[in-house]
Amino acid sequence: TLDILLLLREVKRKPNNLKSLPSAVKLVQRSNATVTRVASFHATRAAHKVVQRWLDTRPESPD
């Protein structure tokens, strides 16, 4: 569903970009790549915060 929504948004924004179906498909693939990159970036940051919080709150271990 995300693909379709992105595609529709692009069609509304730049109708002349989508003269042919292949260009529409390419557009969706490019958008998906960006969405995936952004999502993985946020997931990585979230995981890092969780680990950092855990490290901050755990009792000091004697070395």
The model's pLDDT over 11-57, given as tens digits with 9 standing for 90+, comes to: 666 655 555 667 667 777 777 777 777 778 888 888 888 888 888 88
pTM: 0.38
For residue 15, is it within any domain? yes
Residue 13 lies in a domain: yes
Picking from 7, 43, 47, 53, the residue whose alpha carbon sits closest to that of residue 27 is 7
Question: According to the model, what pLDDT value does residue 51 have?
Answer: 83
Contact between 28 and 7 (Cβ < 8 Å) = yes
Give domain status of residue 27, yes or no.
Answer: yes
Q: Cα separation of 17 and 31, whole Å?
A: 14
Residue 38 pLDDT: 78
What's the structural domain count of the chain?
A: 1
| Containing structural domain, residue 6 | 1-33
Residue 21 resides in a domain = yes
Query: In the predicted model, is pLDDT for residue 1 greater than 60?
Result: no
Any domain includes 1: yes
